[in-house]
Homo-oligomer: A and B are copies of this chain.
Amino acid sequence: MTSSPSRSAHHLITRDLAAVAMGQKSADLIFRNGKLVNVCTARIRENCDIAVYKGYIALVGDASHIMTSVDTQVIDVGGKYLCPGLIDSHMHVESSMVDLRSFAAGVLPHGTTTICPDIHEMTNVLGMDAVTLFEESRKDLPLKVLTAMPVCVPSLPGMEDAGATISPAQVKQAYESGLAFLQGEQMNFPGVIHGDETVHKILGHGLAANKVLTGHYAGEDLNAGLNAYIASGMTADHETTTAQGASARAELGMYVQQRYGSAWLDLPNLITAVTENPGTDTRFYTMVTDDVTSATLVTQGHLDRVFRKAVSLGLNPIVALQMITINAAQMLEQSRWIGSLTPGRAADILVVDNLTDFKVEQVFSDGIKVAENGKMVRPISAFQYPEWAINTMYHNRITPLNFQMTAPCTDTVCARVIKLIPGQVNTLSTQAQMPVINGVLSADPGNDIAKAAMFYRHRPDGRADNTRGLGLVSGTEFKPGTAYASTVSHDCHNLLVVGTDDDAMCLAANALIDSGGGLVVVQDNRIISLLPLPFAGLMSLSSVEVTAAGILSIETALQKIGCAHVAFEMTMSLMGLVVLGELRLSNRGLVEMMDGKSPEFVDLIIL
C-alpha cells in the first residue's frame, strides 16, 4: 500500500535543486521567455524563465546561467503565459462515468494536475474495498490524486441503504493506513449542527489526524447553523448557491468552493460576492467542479471551462487563476508543494495562449510533458479491476407490478410530487391531485408527472433486500410510453427508474440489471439508448471520448422522449439524495427535509 502522495522526493534532492539554480548542474527542462502568472503576488512577470530538475522547480526568473546538457529540453514559449497546474479541491471522479485512469487522461489536457476526489459514490457501492482499490488504481498516474475519505456512507443512515456503510472506526483506520489525504464532504449537516454522536466521532477522527475537513452545508441559516457547522471543524464547502452564502462562508474563515459542474451551475450566482465587492480579500474563494460528466469534459473542458466562465462573468483573470491554484493549495495546506510556479514546488506547469480563452497548449506534470493541444502525449495504462468491482447488480428481474401504486378507493387523492429544477441540485416538495383508477395511481404525462421507483440493488444484506421506494416526479416532461433508468443515483446508487408507463419502466430496469448497471432510455417498448457502466454500476471502462459519446446518446434520447434540459440525467441522479431538501426518494420511501427541520419519511398520498 502506498501512502497518499506528497512531496516525497523533495527532501532527497535539495542539494541538486540548489546546484541547478546556481548553474552548477544541468537542468532537465527549461522554459524561456514566458509571461509568468505569479499567483503569490497577483502579478504577471514578463520574460520569465523556469528551470526544472527531477520534477521540481529549481529556478524562476532569469535562466541564462542555467547549465544544460544534451538531455536538457529547452522550450521557448514565445511570450505565452506560464501558469501553475490547476487544482480541483472537491470533485467526484465517478460523476465523469469513467474510472480514475480514463479521467486522468481526460482532464490533464485541460490543465488540471491535482484533484481531491471524494470517492463516496463507489464507496457507497463497494465499501472500504473501494477506498483500497482506488488507492491502487492511482499509482504512477501523472495526476496528483489527493483522496478525500468518504464519511457519509450512506449520507443519512436510517433513511436509505447503500451497498456498504462506513463507520467512524473505518475512517480512523483509513487515515492510519495512509489511504486518504483529507476528509470527504460531511453531507449530514443536520447531524453536525444538531450534535449527532456518530457524525462528530468522524469529525473528531479527522481533526485528530490533522486532516482538512470538507463540508456540505445546504442550510439556509447563515448565523447559528453555519457557525455551528464551521465551529465543528469544517474548512471548506461547495454547497452554497447564493452570493450571500458565499461571502458568509469566507467571512467565517471557510473556503468557498464555488461550484460549476455539468448540471449544477452555481458559479454565476456566487461570483458576485467577489466581483461586486472590490477590495475583498479573495484568498478564501476557490472554484470546483464537484460533478462533471465525460460529455462536459470532452465538449467543454474541466477547470479551464470554469476559469473561462468566471472571467466571462467579469472576474479578474489572475484572481480566477488564484482560486484554482494557490487558494486551493493553501486550503489543502500544501502550498509548499503545489499551487504556484515558485522554487521547490512540483513542476506542474501549463503553457496557455491567453487569459481569456485560456487554451491550454502544453501541460507538464512533475516536469514531464503529458499533454499538448488538447491531447495526451503520454499514454496512461489501464487498470485491471477485480470481478467484485465489475459485477455489482444484485436485483432479480423486475415486473410491471413492482411499479404499482395502490391508493384509497376515492376518485382523486392529493399526492406528494418531487419537483426537479434544471441546473440545480435542489428539489421542491409539491403536491398534486391525482386520479385513482382501478385502485392505483398512474403517471400523468399530460401534466408532467412521471412515476419514479428506487430499488435496492446491492449485495444481499437481508435488511434492505427487496426494498423499494415509489414516488411521483415533475419536471421531466417525459412523453407517454417512455422511461429512464439509472444506477447512477446518489448517493446509495440504487436502481432509479423514472417513466410514464409501467411496462417501459420495467424494460428499462431490466436492461440495466442485464448490463451490470448504467443508463438507459426506453420509448415505445424499445431501448433507444443504453450506456453500460459496469464498474460499480457507475463507470464505464472506456475512454472519456467513448463514454462522452454514450452520454450524449443518452441525452439525445432524453430529449427525444420529451426532456429538453441540459445534462438532465445528472439532475435526475440526485432524486435519491436524501441529504438535500426538499423531497427525495430512497429505497425506503419518500424523504422530506424542509429548511431547518430534520429529514423524515413522508407518505406518497396525503390523507
Bound form: Cα–Cα A18–B43 in Å: 41
> What mask results when residues 194 to 221 of chain A are scored 1 for a CB within 8 Å of chain B, else 0?
1101001001111110101000000000
CB pair B203–A11 under 8 Å, yes or no, is yes
> What mask results when residues 361 to 388 of chain A are scored 1 for a CB within 8 Å of chain B, else 0?
0000000000000000000000000000
Select which of B41, B284, B340 is within 8 A of A247 by beta carbon.
Answer: B41
A445: CB under 8 A from chain B?
A: no
CB pair A231–B17 under 8 Å, yes or no, is yes
> What mask results when residues 210 to 245 of chain A are scored 1 for a CB within 8 Å of chain B, else 0?
101000000000011101111111110000000000
CB pair A231–B59 under 8 Å, yes or no, is yes
CB pair A65–B224 under 8 Å, yes or no, is yes
CB pair B345–A253 under 8 Å, yes or no, is yes
Residues of B within 8 A of A58 (CB): 227-228, 231
Q: Look across to chain B and name the residue whose beta carbon is closest to the beta carbon of A39.
A: B281
A298: CB under 8 A from chain B?
A: no
Select which of B212, B252, B279 is within 8 A of A342 by beta carbon.
Answer: B252
21 contacts between A and B (CB under 8 A): A11-B208, A12-B204, A14-B200, A14-B231, A14-B232, A15-B197, A15-B232, A18-B192, A18-B195, A18-B200, A19-B228, A22-B224, A41-B247, A42-B281, A43-B280, A59-B224, A60-B227, A60-B252, A253-B340, A253-B344, A254-B342
> What mask results when residues 10 to 49 of chain A are scored 1 for a CB within 8 Å of chain B, else 0?
1110110111111110000000000000111111010000
Residues of B within 8 A of A43 (CB): 251, 280-281
Residues of B within 8 A of A60 (CB): 227, 251-252
Select which of B10, B205, B284, B345 is within 8 A of A40 by beta carbon.
Answer: B284
A303: CB under 8 A from chain B?
A: no
A333: CB under 8 A from chain B?
A: yes
A336: CB under 8 A from chain B?
A: yes
Bound form: Cα–Cα A345–B281 in Å: 19
Bound form: Cα–Cα A18–B345 in Å: 38
> What mask results when residues 317 to 360 of chain A are scored 1 for a CB within 8 Å of chain B, else 0?
00000100000001001011000101111000000000000000
CB pair A233–B22 under 8 Å, yes or no, is no
| Given A227-B343, A235-B336, A343-B227, A251 and B18 contact (CB-CB distance below 8 Å) | no
CB pair A19–B195 under 8 Å, yes or no, is yes
A562: CB under 8 A from chain B?
A: no
A175: CB under 8 A from chain B?
A: no
| Given A17-B231, A21-B224, A253-B343, A204 and B42 contact (CB-CB distance below 8 Å) | no
Residues of B within 8 A of A228 (CB): 17-19, 21-22, 58-59, 343
Residues of B within 8 A of A40 (CB): 250-253, 281, 283-284
Interface pairs A-B: 5 shortest CB-CB: A253-B342, A21-B228, A231-B343, A11-B207, A42-B281
A128: CB under 8 A from chain B?
A: no
| Given A42-B279, A251-B40, A56 and B204 contact (CB-CB distance below 8 Å) | no
Bound form: Cα–Cα A57–B232 in Å: 10
Interface centre among A58, A59, A231, A336 (most CB of B within 10 A): A231
Residues of B within 8 A of A57 (CB): 231
| Shortest Cβ gap from A136 to chain B (Å) | 24
Q: Look across to chain B and name the residue whose beta carbon is closest to the beta carbon of A62.
A: B223
A7: CB under 8 A from chain B?
A: yes
| Shortest Cβ gap from A254 to chain B (Å) | 8
A193: CB under 8 A from chain B?
A: yes
A79: CB under 8 A from chain B?
A: no
Tell me the A residues contacting B by CB distance below 8 Å: 6-7, 10-12, 14-15, 17-24, 38-43, 45, 56-62, 65, 192-195, 197, 200, 203-208, 210, 212, 223-225, 227-235, 247, 250-254, 279-281, 283-284, 322, 330, 333, 335-336, 340, 342-345
Interface centre among A6, A12, A41, A200 (most CB of B within 10 A): A41
| Shortest Cβ gap from A24 to chain B (Å) | 8
Bound form: Cα–Cα A542–B147 in Å: 52
| Given A224-B21, A284-B40, A233 and B14 contact (CB-CB distance below 8 Å) | yes
Residues of B within 8 A of A225 (CB): 21-22
Select which of B20, B193, B342 is within 8 A of A18 by beta carbon.
Answer: B193
CB pair B224–A38 under 8 Å, yes or no, is no
Residues of B within 8 A of A208 (CB): 11
| Given A19-B195, A200-B14, A204-B14, A251 and B284 contact (CB-CB distance below 8 Å) | no
Residues of B within 8 A of A283 (CB): 40, 283
New A-B pairs, 12, CB < 8 Å, besides A232-B344, A253-B340: A11-B205, A18-B194, A22-B224, A41-B250, A41-B251, A41-B280, A41-B284, A45-B251, A59-B223, A60-B227, A253-B342, A281-B322
CB pair A21–B345 under 8 Å, yes or no, is no
Bound form: Cα–Cα A250–B203 in Å: 35
Residues of B within 8 A of A284 (CB): 40-41
| Shortest Cβ gap from A37 to chain B (Å) | 12
| Given A231-B59, A281-B41, A333-B333, A23 and B224 contact (CB-CB distance below 8 Å) | yes
Interface centre among A59, A228, A254, A336 (most CB of B within 10 A): A228
Select which of B18, B65, B205, B233 is within 8 A of A231 by beta carbon.
Answer: B18
| Given A56-B231, A279-B42, A336-B235, A207 and B7 contact (CB-CB distance below 8 Å) | yes
CB pair A22–B194 under 8 Å, yes or no, is yes
